[in-house]
Structure 1
Amino acid sequence: MYRLYGGLGSPYSLKVRAVLRYRRLPHIWIAANDPTTMGRLFAQVRAPVIPVLEFPDGTVMNDSTPLVAELERRHAERSVVPDDEAQAFAAFLLEDMADEWGTKAMFHHRWNLDRDQIQMGRWLAFDRFRGQGRERIETFGQTFRERQTGRMALVGCTPQNAPVIEASTERAFDLLDVMATDEGYLFGSRPSLADFAWFGQFSQLATDPTPHDLMLARAPYLMRWIAGLDDVSGVEGEWREEPTAAMLGLLELAAEVYLPFLLANAQAAGRGEETFSVELMGRPYSQGVFKYQVRCLAQLREAYTGLSDAAKTRVDGWLPAAACAALAG
């Protein structure tokens, strides 16, 4: 039995839980709100963040991408990685974009406006202190709100960057809304790791007040797709041989936004700089350097250069030359 410690307000927790459900792996979902338990678990991982997955053999891991990869290594049935080598790489890239860029949409909308700050601060506090009194919940909710709004510039969620974050989010909304009605999932009639990654981020937007209203108006079928993907243990399906329109559209968005963002971050880190600026979607974007995202680019480059010639030719046909050059290093 797997034991997954997470939270409803954590996109990565819901991503991993949905993967476990789809793969029909016996597990228990446990709210990560007991300090003693979480202290024991965090002592066994590099960074004290959720979700934390305790494996049946006692292994403890966190960070959703390596968690999903480890589940792939241990279990062959109902894989979330497409069989086709080129599509598997595309799924890895789109998962990475959801985890590292899509989360900006969640953070921006959750902590930008008062209505979202107040509700989500209180709800996240409730998840931790439910049953311990309204005063304690709302006091911690205000403290947590202040802490999170104070971190917005650190993760790039500034007024200057808001147009890029919002425009890229709306593009993804549009692509996935059409996919929900016309194609099912990004790589066929069964979900991939990329579907689960976007589900994780957008599950939060479907809940928080302002992005909920935006999604309902702009992408109503995406909203319903998100509700369904929370548990697709009953879904049977096939990988599609030809790329879906949604996959190609998200790869285009990755080439336009995510890969230039990663490249600028890595170049600034290489020069020992603390911040970087780059033009994305014709707009200025700047933030502090993130070492973790330097590693993300390195991993994408390793995966890309490791492709067979045939698979690389297919990937190169899906991405513009500049994006391929960024991946090639």
Structure 2
Amino acid sequence: MYTLYGSEVSLYTGKIRAYLRFKQLPFKEVLSTIGVYKKIIRPNTGVTFIPVVKTPHGQYLQDTARIIEYLEIHNPQRTVIPPGSTQKLVSELFALWSDEWLVIPAMHYRWNKDNFPFIYQEFGQVVAPKFPRFIRAYFGKKLAKKFSGFVPILGITSQTIPSIENWYENTVLHHLNRHFAVHDYLLGSRPCVGDFALMGPLYAHLYRDPAPGKVMQRKAPHVVAWVERMNQTNVQLGEFITDDDIPDTLLPLLQNMFDQQWPVLSDTASKLSEWRATHCDEQLIPRSIGQHSFNFDGVSAQRAIASFHQYKLQRVLDTFQQFNEDDKERSLALLDRVGGKQYIQMNVQVRVAMVNNKLVFA
């Protein structure tokens, strides 16, 4: 029996919960209260991030990408990794985009829209789960204030908010809605890693929270159906699309990824290399190493340089580099159509790794 430590309000918990259900792995879910953080999560992982999965052998796993990687190795049945190289790469591209870029609208719509007192009650469950609602709301408001402080760090400001909303509602939801009108999942009738990554922001924040939930219901009913399908238990296995094909409905989103997110990822790698040169004696890498400029649908702004993004970037680049020459050629043909050919072959000068759940230089 696996144990999932997390919460319904947590972005990344939704990703792993859906994965465990699809894999049909027996698990129980434990709410990550303050007491659970102090007694279980921090002592066994060294960090205070959720979700955490405890294996039947007593191993504690942290970070959703590595959790799925571990569980795929130890539970190869009902795999969520496509056999084709191009589909595998596209799945990883969507995972990177969902985990690290869709956080922007997820955080904006949660903290800058009318989701209260719902959010206060949700966060209050973490602090005072057994207390009356008014006490939960009191503590939930104090905890929520901490999380809402991350909003400007992501580059969400009065200048960028109109572009963020326009992009999310008229690009992200629009193209996902068109795609899920035809396909059950990203790459056919079986979910891939990218689907589960999408579940993070699209379920916990943008489907469950009242204000963005109404937007999704109104603008993207096929995305709503996909979210609900992803949360089902005893889902039929399904198949990936044959011949390693990529649906044309995904191409606008892939193009948007390379137009918008990948310049930020490239600059992050460059900035981290510069930071390393002036911090030669430091092995642990801070979560942020300063600020840099980014462009969001024509609007320039500043955001924190998130060092962890390079770790996730390396996973995608390594996926491509592990292909044989024929597979690389097929993938490059697709990437050339969506503006990603040069990016996928970029060279990261200073690599990072995760050791004991901490980001370090490799």
Flag the 1:127–1:231 CA change in 2: closer, same or farther, 3 A: farther
Flag the 1:3–1:18 CA change in 2: closer, same or farther, 3 A: same
Instruction: Specify the SS of the correspondent of 1:131.
Output: coil
Which whole-Å CA distance do the structure 2 matches of 1:44 and 1:77 have between them? Answer: 28
8 Å CA contact retained: 2:164, 2:296: no
Flag the 1:182–1:22 CA change in 2: closer, same or farther, 3 A: same
Which whole-Å CA distance do the structure 2 matches of 1:59 and 1:279 have between them? Answer: 41
**Partner residue in 1 for 2:340:** 323
8 Å CA contact retained: 1:260, 1:280: no
Which letter does structure 2 place at the counterpart of 1:141? G
Deviation at 1:135, TM superposition (A): 3.0
Which whole-Å CA distance do the structure 1 matches of 2:229 and 2:76 have between them? Answer: 24
Which whole-Å CA distance do the structure 1 matches of 2:51 and 2:322 have between them? Answer: 29
**Partner residue in 2 for 1:18:** 18
**Partner residue in 1 for 2:75:** 75
**Partner residue in 1 for 2:93:** 93
1:122 aligns with 2:138: no
**Partner residue in 2 for 1:8:** 8
8 Å CA contact retained: 2:98, 2:197: yes
Which whole-Å CA distance do the structure 2 matches of 1:68 and 1:162 have between them? Answer: 33
Which whole-Å CA distance do the structure 1 matches of 2:198 and 2:320 have between them? Answer: 21
Which letter does structure 2 place at the counterpart of 1:239? F
The RMSD of aligned alpha carbons is: 2.0
**Partner residue in 1 for 2:158:** 159
Deviation at 1:206, TM superposition (A): 1.1
| Partner deviation per Cα, 1:131-176 (whole Å, 9 max, x = no partner) | 3122321111221232222221123222233244323322121122
Which whole-Å CA distance do the structure 2 matches of 1:149 and 1:197 have between them? Answer: 22
Which whole-Å CA distance do the structure 1 matches of 2:6 and 2:43 have between them? Answer: 16
Which letter does structure 2 place at the counterpart of 1:10? S
- Which residues in structure 2 correspond to 1:1-329 (within 5 Å)? 1-33=1-33, 35-36=35-36, 38-113=38-113, 115-170=114-169, 171-203=171-203, 204-241=205-242, 242-272=245-275, 274-320=290-336, 323-329=340-346
Flag the 1:328–1:56 CA change in 2: closer, same or farther, 3 A: same
Ranges in structure 1 where 5+ consecutive residues have no aligned partner: none
- Give me the TM-score of the superposition, normalised by structure 1: 0.93
Tell me the number of residue pairs that the alignment of Structure 1 and Structure 2 aligns: 328
Which whole-Å CA distance do the structure 2 matches of 1:107 and 1:283 have between them? Answer: 18
Deviation at 1:90, TM superposition (A): 1.2
| Structure number with higher helix proportion | 1
| Residue range with higher mean Cα deviation, 164-173 or 33-42 | 33-42
Which whole-Å CA distance do the structure 1 matches of 2:316 and 2:201 have between them? Answer: 20
- Give me the TM-score of the superposition, normalised by structure 2: 0.85
8 Å CA contact retained: 2:14, 2:200: yes
8 Å CA contact retained: 1:264, 1:278: no
Runs of 4+ in 1 over 4 A off after TM superposition: none
